[in-house]
Amino acid sequence: MPQAIKPSSPIDLSASFAGLSLQTPLVLLSGCVGFGEEYTRVEGFSNADIGAVILKGTTLEARMGNAPHRVYETPSGMLNAIGLQNPGARHVIDNILPHLPHHETQFWANANGSTLEEYTEVARLFDDSPVTAIEINISCPNVKAGGVHFGNNAEMAARVVAAMRPMTKKPLITKLSPNNADIAEIARCCIEAGSDGLSVINTLVGMAVDIESRKPVIGNISGGLSGPAIKPVALWKIHQTRAVAARHGIPILGQGGICSARDGIEFAIAGSDALGLGTGLFYDPLLPAKMLQELRDYLGRHGLGSYRELVGTLAV
């Protein structure tokens, strides 16, 4: 049994991700906290508890999003089909980023596009902004390839990363879809194309039916399933991706159903260099502070002096 760290000994909860130093390993995920302004108004919330906030998905031009209903609670989860409603990259950079507390935590962009040209232009715009990293959402349909999602094809996913790479000096973090057979192969292709980090996983595709109207509940018919229901899938996909990522020295932002410190610890052991919080924030807006205290207690009990010592320690 490892010797417990004495209570007086400090536990290091910082994390390193794609060359960035995070004050904690907790990252608030894109789409769950708007553009970062709303969450700071939650009583009791502190930016000191989080390592970064990923802004809402942003496209080159403004988008209105999907018709309602957009969100639906499911057993142990949530379906959403927002449709990337956002005011466009230029508006975000000029009118939102200047008002965010960059001195308190980091803010990362989340880039989306329907063509390679749109992705590259969004990257170019955000390169000249205060964001410290750019997450690439490759789960968008490629309108020039008949609507096939970039993230479901290794070659197309790599082309997105390769096209964006010359546009920015900031770390590029590719968000991988679980809705494909070989996530490790897509991870490898994205890394070789220039990705500095991986977000694992994006939502699964799901649907709900209104039995009275016999129509889909979600206006878009299908939506992204998140929350505790997808946690086992997320852990498995992280385990599959870890070997490829570790071989290239690429970090993983693990996500998919983290709603407690115990969940986060599982993700860390499986290989998550940082922990993404999304649907869990709807259950408990003060989840970050609670997780950090329980994580600190766990590390001390197990004789670990830092979060980094826990990452990737799965015994198989």
Tell me the per-residue pLDDT of 221-269, one tens digit each, with 9 for 90 and over.
999 999 999 999 999 999 999 999 999 999 999 999 999 999 999 999 9
**Which residue would you say has higher pLDDT here, 287 or 6?**
287
Q: Is the pLDDT of residue 99 over 80?
A: yes
For strands 26-28 and 20-22, give the pairing.
unpaired
Q: Is the pLDDT of residue 2 over 80?
A: no
Please name every residue paired with 306 in a beta bridge, in sequence order, or none if there are none: 12
pLDDT at 181: 83
Q: Is the pLDDT of residue 80 over 90?
A: yes
Residues 6+ apart with CB under 8 A from 48: 23, 104, 105
For the stretch 122-134, pLDDT in tens is 999 999 999 999 9
Q: Is residue 238 within 8 Å of residue 272, measured between CB atoms?
A: yes
Average pLDDT value for the chain: 95
pLDDT band per the 50, 70, 90 thresholds, residue 66 = very high
Mean pLDDT to the nearest integer, 24-44: 92
Largest CA distance in the chain: 61
For 145, phi then psi, to 5°, come to: -125, 35
Of the listed 32, 140, 189, 259, which one is catalytic?
140
Q: Is residue 139 within 8 Å of residue 151, measured between CB atoms?
A: yes
pLDDT at 142: 60
Q: How far apart are CA 133 and CA 181, in angstroms?
A: 28
Please name every residue paired with 134 in a beta bridge, in sequence order, or none if there are none: 109, 172
Residues 6+ apart with CB under 8 A from 116: 159, 160, 163
pLDDT at 243: 95
Q: Is the pLDDT of residue 38 over 90?
A: no
Q: Is the pLDDT of residue 188 over 90?
A: yes
Q: Is the pLDDT of residue 40 over 90?
A: no
* Short-list 152, 105, 96, CA closest to 126: 96
* Length of the chain as a residue count: 316
Which domains are delineated in the chain? 15-301 (3.20.20.70)
Quick check: helix, strand or coil at residue 117?
helix
140 tagged catalytic:
yes
Q: Is the pLDDT of residue 276 over 60?
A: yes
Q: Is the pLDDT of residue 7 over 90?
A: no
pLDDT at 297: 98
pLDDT at 143: 56
What amino acid is encoded at 100 in this protein?
L
**Which residue would you say has higher pLDDT here, 8 or 264?**
264
pLDDT band per the 50, 70, 90 thresholds, residue 186 = very high
Q: pTM of the full predicted structure?
A: 0.95
Q: Is residue 282 within 8 Å of residue 31, measured between CB atoms?
A: no
For the stretch 165-177, pLDDT in tens is 999 999 999 999 9
pLDDT at 180: 86
pLDDT at 36: 87
Q: Is the pLDDT of residue 311 over 70?
A: yes
pLDDT at 278: 97
For the stretch 193-222, pLDDT in tens is 999 999 999 999 999 999 999 999 999 999
How much of the chain is in helix, strand and coil states, percent to nearest 5?
Answer: 35, 20, 45
* Short-list 301, 255, 253, 257, CA closest to 274: 253
No. of H helices and E strands in the chain?
8, 16
Q: How many CB atoms lie under 10 A from the CB of residue 310?
A: 18
**Which residue would you say has higher pLDDT here, 179 or 60?**
60
pLDDT at 232: 99
pLDDT at 1: 54
* Short-list 51, 76, 52, CA closest to 283: 76
For 291, phi then psi, to 5°, come to: -65, -45
What amino acid is encoded at 41 in this protein?
R
The alpha carbon dihedral of 58, 111, 187, 220 has a sign of positive
Q: How far apart are CA 284 and CA 282, in angstroms?
A: 6
